Structure 1
Amino acid sequence: MAADVEIADLAALLAELKGRSGLSYGTLAKRLHLSPSTVHRYCKGEGLPPEFATVERFARQCGATAEELMELHRRWIAADTARERDRRAPEPEPAAVAPAAPVPAVAAVPPARRRWRPGAVVGAVAAATALTLAAGLLLALRDDDEDQAAQRQPPPAGDGPAPVAVTVRPHAFESPCGNHYLVDADPESVPPPPHEPEAPGWARAMGAVPAGRQYVELTIQGTGDETVVLRDLHVRVTRADEPLPWNLYTGYSACGGGPVDTAAFDVDLDAAAPALTAGADQSELPLWVDESDPLVVYVTARTEAHDVDWYLDLEWSSGDREGVLRIDDEGEPLRTSATSGQPEWGFLLGGTDWYPAPTG
């Protein structure tokens, strides 16, 4: 099947990174919270990680460069797309048999495979104010239906379905150690930090608010054959109050790894009309997407002084149509709060209890 070739391409790079790192399957499996057999299958091309976050954590543990991370992202997307197309390919029609003599079978011809075309990498970083945003942009395709936080934003009313859709993951992990959250509860009442797939449910159950910064992943994709122009992306702050005084839970300690920086769109939220400004060697908005060339946008929201409700407005146009798509958290504003010297708690990888984290 078509997916086998793409999965093998991804596996070859994973195996190369593992070999270069000198880490055993057992060591990698422990750090990734997977079984050794699962890690072995990924390196042999006998399975495909269900989400890129697993591939990213694998790569960071193996010391991958930013360029290798981008190549892994491209290969995972190509493999995931090919696998999905293999699943959706029509079954061959049964042979037609005449009463007198058999008629040769004619199999249905599957639709032509539209090859994913890698594009230029674009990034985003923002200036710090009450809230600052950094958006790292990668041309890519991602169908992340398994993520509980993923959502399809509704089309604008009154003009038929919009030709563009956005999938939002408001609790993506910027670091394999996990996110930092403010929770209005004592450590005895707070379960261990979540891994990335469980983060949306964990945060919802605990009423947790991302602390200091929030890493949001957006996948912007055309829903038809026509090209959609992404004209602008605006930040909308709807509320800014004093920082929450709740306990700060910092996720796993001693897990290794760290974020990979991307560059750079800046937005000054103190300006009368905040706008994204591309950094050196970056493409300015507008950008383009269609069904086969989507865009993945990483938005890092930062605040050092407020508890902030915010969302994004995406301006789009296609042919003689145009509109604005609101990007939020399942109909509610995204929320990020600064910290304010409250008690800080950490959790050791493999541990059983929260412990007071050093603040120096």
Structure 2
Amino acid sequence: MSTDDGIGPVEMAFASSIEAILDSDIDGLLDAPERPAKVTASDRLQRAFLEIVEFRRTHNRTPSSATREIAERKLGARLDGILANDERIAALKPLDEFGLLAMPERPASIDDLLGSDGSDLLDDESGLLDVSDLPARRQVYDSGDAARRERASGFEQFEPLFKQKHAELRGGTSRLLPYPGMAHIVPGAFFVLNGVMLLVAEVGETEYKKTTVRENKRERLRCIFENGTESSMYRQSLAIRLSDENGQIVVQSETPEILTDDEASGYIYVLRSLSDDPQIAGIKDLHKIGFTRGTVEARIKNAEKSPTYLMAPVKIVASYRTYNLKASALENLLHRVFADVRLELTQADHKGRAYDPSEWFVVPRTVIDQAIDLIMSGDIVGYVYDNDAGKLVTSG
């Protein structure tokens, strides 16, 4: 027998039992699981940024992309990539509770680029750091890893340089000044130590040596002496000897002020990519503008393995020695001047990870030279690059 709907007693009993089972499932064990929402690119970006925010909350500082701590370096590099993309900054602003995405204020004058960072970290009003009353400590130079002099390889290429410096000293175009500090121990600098002239021919890559207190960084030098010998002493060792033994520096007479009171900051460099990638090689006037405290040659070593250099070798177009400049303010200012012609390109490294190079600009070399001149004169603050006109114009 069936009902008017064609449903028999068996079917009705089965339906009734199903309903009873469902009604008795007070714990929801039979509920169909909700399908997880699809993760969007925006969701991934927010999650990535929240990891940076959590680091700031936990450690009370911004993660650094230059540290040797892998986890922190990863977060620091991620933050650098975000800061190089205006769209990402705009999308993440609501989550930025610590002001991590705030861009530095535009310098009001060239004075904002000069001098110290204003932190006064070593300002010691208490006198705790005054060691003038302590007995002098005799420095010991012959340590286990001390570099000893040996016959200079290829001295014939350096000998004319020493003869030229002595001729300049006799003619008055160069002069000797008291050793001004370790910041001036850079490639190409001449010093006099115990009556013997030496040339800093090379500065090696930074080495790190751990102690029980901290991790020290140091660089090996290639020092060529006018007597035909050379040494691979550390930069710090040479600095100590020049300081303790009344060393002198050789400077040009017309520019003594640079080396008497000022501090060498590093180099602004301009690079051209040697990439054979059509989308890069086809871009006219593509240049990378950056800053380094060491040598440019050391900075670009293994460029073909780094997305920062577009995963290709690069050619040094120009480098400019800078003095008393804040590296962060200088780079920020240059990047603001050329912001409208920044290269928009997502590059993948050898592991397939996406990376947005932030220091490449499509701007003629002549304009870059003009910008550097304006930096040195202090007038760059009032200029921006007009891409249509192809020249720097006043921003007012």
TM-score range, shorter chain: under 0.3
Answer 1 or 2: higher relative contact order, Cα 8 Å, separation at least 6: 1
Task: Kindly indicate which of the two structures has a greater share of residues assigned to strand.
Answer: 1
Please identify which structure carries the higher helix content.
2
TM-score (ref. length: structure 1) = 0.23
**TM-score where L is the length of structure 2:** 0.22
